[in-house]
A and B are shown apart, each in its own frame.
Chain A
Amino acid sequence: MKLAYWPGCVSRGFTTELHGSMAIVAEQLGIELVELDRANCCGAGIIAEHNQELADTLNARTFALAQQTGLAMMNICSTCQGAQSECQQRLDADSAYRAHINEVLSGQGLSYEKGKDGFTNKNFLWLLVEDYGLDRLADLVKRPLTGLRVGPFYGCYVVRPKDRLGYDEYPDRDLYLEQVIEVLGGEVVEYDGARKCCGFPVITMNRDTSLRQAGTHIGDALDAGADCLVTPCPLCHLNLDMQQPEAAKIVNRDLGLAVLHLPQLVALALGAEPKELGMKRHIASTKWVEERIAPVAAA
């Protein structure tokens, strides 16, 4: 499997451990990644607040760069998925609008063509379940996460709105994290916040709202007995992990729950060591998780 790979900004910024872990897990899975290093930020919905046409053009450029490779596109960020899907929905809805946007790109020898070579843009979670296959993944598990109680945390942008995110075709996209956790041998922890908002989008605008959301979900997961959370979204990771000590102050309780990036959890089950996955960089200690997972079986 070979993919045009958009790592997003945050995986190369405050969560470099995600970028590194994705490289490791890709090798474990036998996926070849062609990194789109000329592509630009998805705008995270914020550039669209300034100028929607600008956001659509910037993302059309990324899609066009991916289409030049002739490969399907993969991202590793729920927010990239949501922001890019939003622009793609508008671009795909109307050929005149698409042509209007492509006029700007044509000066750069680029063009986004709807459905060219069956073009898709899927985040790692969707791709793992829909294209790679859970059976294949199961065969590669070297260290089943037996006894590890994992709370899924999706990130809004891969859950809603349903009609934009392909739920007609793939109705179980909001259950994939549970499916992956189980295939890796872990135990799914059900708690209220799994599909709610981490609060990150308003961290600079209303810190109390933002951290109260993060703190509440972490607390709920702890109450449900979670050993850790897993998320396919690095922006959720920023609020749930990096801001966790601050969130604890806002909700006025002790937290201390490890938050893993999805590629880290998969890589662990496929035999990678916590050290190479950059888990030391996390703010909330991952020590408890490291203690609970077994050494890789010799067999």
Chain B
Amino acid sequence: MAAYTLKVRRFQPETGEGPYWEEFDVDLDPSLSVLDGLLQARDRDDGSLSVRCSCRAAICGSCGMKINGQSGLGCKTQIGEAQEKADKFSHASSGEEEALPTGDGPAPIVVEPMGNQPVIKDLITDMESTHWAKIRRVTPWLLPHGDPPEREYVVEPESMIDITQSMACIQCGACVSSCLSMEVDPDFIGPAALAKAYRFVGDPRDAETKERLHDLAFDPHGIYDCTHCFSCIDACPKGVAPMDQIMRLRRRAIEEGVEGDPNNGANHVHAFTKMIEKKGTNDEALLIQETYAPGIKGKLKPTKSAIKGLVNSLPTVLRAIKTGKARSLPKLIPGVHPKLPDGAQDEVKAIYAHAEDHREEFNIYISGEEDVVPEPDETVEEEA
């Protein structure tokens, strides 16, 4: 048994007051969970402390919350580990707080409701508008064509393994809570719903793959609105790695030839990939031009949004010329940027040539990592 202090962000709408912090002292084994700590506080100190929970075993996905700022499940976070994190960052939060312990005692474990979601009461959030509506947005059911087969659908095992990772989702909303895109753009479809979308895009029984991808790419708040911050990967208690699923959706969209999206997402991927084949390193002027107006030498086909993007980036470029940041030809004229030296560019081109018919997608979630072989030297030393 050990003593912990849980510092909980509370909100009781019936009082008419705003949210406030309250500390609860609890006493439990370090291997028990933060949720266990909260339930003890509710039993012993305040029956009104509200938290959603059911299975207490990381299966039902009810107890999503933020612990020391990290989104996850209360039942899957050991309170001893949460204390270590709190101590690690207590230095980091020393500027901000009104209720830090005096002296050198352990820092409180900070517990908050999930982010990016309206709070109903204490740790309970309203997941309807920010989670479930977005899940429904991606048409989360199978859309096969034609009559169903007389018996069952026959599917290659590999195809189903491919989507097991996205199927592992328990709809807890921790990824939504952690999403840094949604923090500034609440309209972003978000990590949970997009991971769910991949579950159907990757399913060979579904016949509307391209339509789904087109829909998600052409929504300005779709797959090209993810800022690639990895927050959802660390938040997910089930290893779904939603951001990886979003990147797979982008990859599939490119493969299926979904082009011309309003975010210039496909253009950017093509421009970047081609640029490295030509130059080996980033030719910034070429990247900007090709992203907004691909094929300027042949047929110039910038979209409306591309022209807007190009115009928007002009003041930034002008300022960079003024300070000397971009005051050289290779930084201003697309294509002047040098290639890699001494035949190195040809080596890169050879890799590209090979990649034309090689697109293996190696997924550690499915294959696992090879066991680390113990170093023989260590064993010898032990015996000696």
Name A's B-contacting residues (CB within 8 A): 9-10, 12-17, 37-41, 43-54, 56-58, 61, 82, 89-90, 92-95, 97, 100, 104-105, 107-108, 156-157, 159-162, 171-172, 175, 178, 189-190, 196-197, 199, 201-202, 204-210, 212-213, 216, 224, 242-243, 245-246, 280-283
9 residue pairs of the A-B complex, CB under 8 angstroms, read A49-B254, A50-B273, A51-B251, A58-B276, A190-B95, A196-B180, A197-B180, A199-B227, A207-B309
Mask of B291-323 contacts with A, CB within 8 angstroms, 1/0 = 110000000000000000100100110011001
Contact A160:B361 (CB < 8 A) given known A104-B351, A282-B323, A283-B323: no
Chain B contacts of A281 at CB under 8 A? 323-325
Of the residues B234, B254, B351, contact of A162 by C-beta under 8 Å? B234
B residues lining the A interface (CB < 8 Å): 88-89, 91-96, 180-181, 183-185, 188, 220-221, 224-231, 233-234, 241, 247, 250-251, 254, 263-265, 268-270, 272-273, 276, 280-282, 284, 288, 291-292, 309, 312, 315-316, 319-320, 323-326, 331, 340-342, 344, 347-348, 350-352, 354-355, 358-362, 364, 367-370
Among all A-B residue pairs, the 3 with the closest Cβ atoms: A9-B282, A160-B230, A197-B229
Q: How far is the CA of A108 from the CA of B353 in the complex (A)?
A: 14
Residues of chain A with a CB closer than 8 A to B324's CB: 280-281
A37:B341 contact, CB within 8 angstroms: yes
Set of chain A residues within 8 Å of B292, measured between Cβ atoms: 204
Q: Is B316 a contact partner of A206 (Cβ separation < 8 A)?
A: no
A161–B236 CA distance with the chains assembled, in angstroms: 11
Assess the A50–B184 pair: CB atoms within 8 A: no
Query: How far does the Cβ of A106 sit from chain B's closest Cβ, in whole Å?
Result: 11
**Separation of A161 and B263 alpha carbons in the complex (Å):** 26
Are A52 and B360 also in contact (CB < 8 A) when A93-B370, A94-B369, A243-B316 are? yes
A108 to B323, CA, bound (A): 41
Q: Does the CB pair B229–A53 fall under 8 Å?
A: no
Chain B residues with Cβ under 8 A from A243's Cβ?
316
**B291: A residues at CB distance < 8 A:** 204
Residues of B within 8 A of A197 (CB): 180-181, 227-229, 231
* Contacting residues, chain A, for B221 (C-beta < 8 A): 206
A205 lies within 8 A of B264 (CB) = yes
Q: A14-B325, A58-B351, A205-B264 are in contact. Are A210 and B227 (CB under 8 A)?
A: yes
Contact A97 B320 (CB under 8 A): no
**Distance of A50 Cα from B270 Cα, bound (Å):** 7
Instruction: State the CA gap A205–B306 with chains docked (Å).
Output: 10
Chain B residues in 8 Å Cβ range of A57? 351, 354-355
Which residues of B are found within 8 Å of A15, using beta-carbon distances? 325
CA distance A28 to B111 in the complex (A): 44
Distance between B274 CB and nearest chain A CB, rounded to angstroms: 9
Contact A202/B269 with A14-B284, A243-B316, A280-B324 known, Cβ cut-off 8 Å:
no
Which residues of the other chain, A, contact B319 by a CB distance below 8 angstroms? 242, 245, 283
A94–B367 Cα gap in the complex (Å)? 8
User: How far apart are the CA atoms of A92 and B360 in the complex, in Å?
Assistant: 16
Interface contact A242-B320, CB-CB below 8 Å: yes
Most chain A CB inside 10 Å of its own CB: which residue of B291, B312, B351: B351
Pick from A93, A157, A204 the residue with the most CB of B within 10 Å.
A204
In the complex, which of the residues A44, A49, A94, A97 has the most CB atoms of chain B within 10 Å of its own CB atom? A49
Name which residue of chain A comes closest to B272, CB basis.
Answer: A46
Partner of B361, one of A53, A89, A105: A53
User: What is the chain B residue whose CB lies nearest that of A224?
Assistant: B95
Q: State whether A93 touches B364 (Cβ < 8 A).
A: yes
Bound CA–CA A100/B355 (angstroms): 12
**Contact partner of A47 among B180, B230, B273, B369, CB < 8 A?**
B273
Known contacts A57-B355, A92-B369, A197-B228, then 8 further A-B pairs from the complex at CB < 8 Å, ordered by chain A residue: A48-B251, A50-B254, A50-B273, A93-B367, A93-B369, A94-B369, A156-B229, A175-B88
Contact of B320 (CB < 8 Å), options: A14, A56, A105, A162: A14
- Write out the residue numbers on chain A whose beta carbons fall within 8 Å of the beta carbon of B352: 54
* CA distance in complex: A197, B185 (Å): 13
A14–B361 Cα distance when bound, in Å, is 32
A280 touches which of B234, B323, B359, B362 (Cβ 8 Å)? B323
Of B92, B184, B320, B347, which is within 8 A of A61 by CB? Answer: B347
Contact present for B88 and A38 (CB under 8 Å): no
For residue A245, which residue of chain B has the nearest CB? Answer: B319
The smallest C-beta distance from B66 to any residue of chain A, in angstroms, reads 13
**Which residues of chain A come closer than 8 Å to B282, judged between CB atoms?**
9-10, 13, 41
- A17 to B323 alpha-carbon distance, docked (Å): 12
- B341: A residues at CB distance < 8 A: 37-38
Interface contact A46-B263, CB-CB below 8 Å: no
